[in-house]
Amino acid sequence: MDTRTLGQGLEVSAIGLGCMGMSHGFGPASDTAEMTTVLRDAVELGVTFFDTAEVYGPFVNEELVGAALAPVRDQVVIATKFGFAFDADGRQTGGLDSTPDHVRAAVDGSLRRLGLDHIDLLYQHRVDPAVPIEEVAGTVQELIAAGKVRHFGLSEAGVDTIRRAHAVQPVTALQSEYSLWWRDLEAEIIPVLDGLGIGLVAFSPLGRGFLTGAITSDTSFDSNDIRTSLPRFAPEARAANQAVVDLLARLGADKGATPGQVALAWLLAQQPWVVPIPGTRRTSRVAENIGAADVELTPADLADLESAIAAVEVVGHRYSEAMEKMIDR
């Protein structure tokens, strides 16, 4: 697979793999042996960029990713995240904590679970309004100097936070949701990233599975699936939003591509420093997703898609009210 360069010269595969759903967020965790196979198959298929976080599980996703990728450690870039608060028993409290001591402890825990001597890319998972971002960036800078971290990233951060953090410790990547049906980054954030030389790692590039066409208004979700709480996945919203999938399918038919591949190809066409990280639990989906890198969208294709998507009104917000409160503005 072709590679792309994020900020600070970090080279990764053009399409990465988001690992959260293997053990968190989308129903019960999958079998460890099966997910180990998927992760190793992904490397064989050309994926070099893998995304996890301490909160996924919590903790078990890092253990899975670390053990699965240990034999190929020198071939891959592993990203993880800190920033959520936990109680003394390791249970997530629902709050945020980016105090220096917590960041240091989180990094040590991630290193242990991942079985690494350094983290390639360390993100602040959510901006903590109680801790100045300069203090967070400074703490990560110390961890970089100590050799525990190579690159600093932010997730779901706003323009002011990005600028202030970058002034202390150069930011390699911003990870935020970005797809054909969530484009709020385009007005202000993407121009700032471009100007500062920061890469964009797009999570949920397939709209949490919806843009693949595999989800309809009749699809039922497990009670532990986060999509049960998201307005965009209410049955009536899914019915209305099917128009987006139909649009992707029409263009894909002309290209010999699936709707999901068109959605990923559109992202790749936006900027050379945009790297989507679709998640999956199946090797066949990994292969399909990375096939998007071979789907060529001409300027005319992109213009037609832009015009068509502008006529579709996407129904439902992407986050619940509680999740929205944690987004930096």
Q: Residue 136: which of 146, 144, 128 has the closest Cα?
A: 128
Distances (CA, A) of 301 to 200, 253, 296, 306, 314: 23, 13, 9, 8, 21
Q: How confident is the model at residue 329 (pLDDT cuts 50, 70, 90)?
A: confident
Q: What is the C-alpha separation between 280 and 286, in angstroms, rounded?
A: 7
Q: Which two tokens stand for residue 42?
A: 């992904």
CATH topology for 3-209+261-295 is TIM Barrel (3.20.20)
HSE-CB at 282 with a 13 A cutoff on CA atoms is: 5
Residues in a beta bridge with 4:
12
Give the pLDDT mean for 49-62: 98
Whether the CA torsion 80, 82, 86, 90 is positive or negative: it is positive
One of 56, 123, 178, 319 is an active-site residue; which one? 56
Helix 60-69 × helix 32-44 angle, to 10°:
50
Angle between helices 159-168 and 189-196 (to 10 degrees): 20
pLDDT at 64: 98
The answer on pLDDT for 206 being more than 90 is yes
If you average pLDDT over residues 238-248, what whole number do you get?
A: 95
Q: How much is the CA Rg of the chain, to the nearest whole Å?
A: 19
In angstroms, rounded to a whole number, what is the distance separating the alpha carbons of residues 240 and 238?
Answer: 5
Which residue, chain included where needed, has tokens 């190809």?
265
Catalytic residue at 56? yes
Secondary structure (DSSP) of 165-187? HHHHS-EEEEEEE-BTTB-GGGT
On whether the CB atoms of residues 174 and 193 are closer than 8 A, the answer is yes
Q: Is the pLDDT of residue 258 over 90?
A: yes
Q: Which tokens is 275 given?
A: 């790297």
pLDDT band at 4 (very low <50, low <70, confident <90, very high): very high
CA dist 140 and 124 (Å) reads: 9
Distance CA 253, CA 53 (A): 36
pLDDT in tens, 166-192: 999 999 999 999 999 999 999 999 999
Tens digits of residue pLDDT in 225-241: 999 999 999 999 999 99
Give the residue carrying structure tokens 């350094």. Answer: 118
DSSP 279: B
Structural contact between residues 123 and 175, judged by C-beta atoms closer than 8 angstroms: yes
What pLDDT is stored for residue 88 in this prediction?
A: 86
**Helix (H), strand (E) at residue 266:** helix 259-268
Q: How far is CA 224 from CA 8, 26, 29, 220, 229, in A?
A: 38, 7, 10, 12, 10
Residue 111: is its pLDDT beyond 90? yes
Listed by start position, the domains of the chain span: 3-209+261-295
CA distance 294 to 273: 17
Residue length of the chain: 329
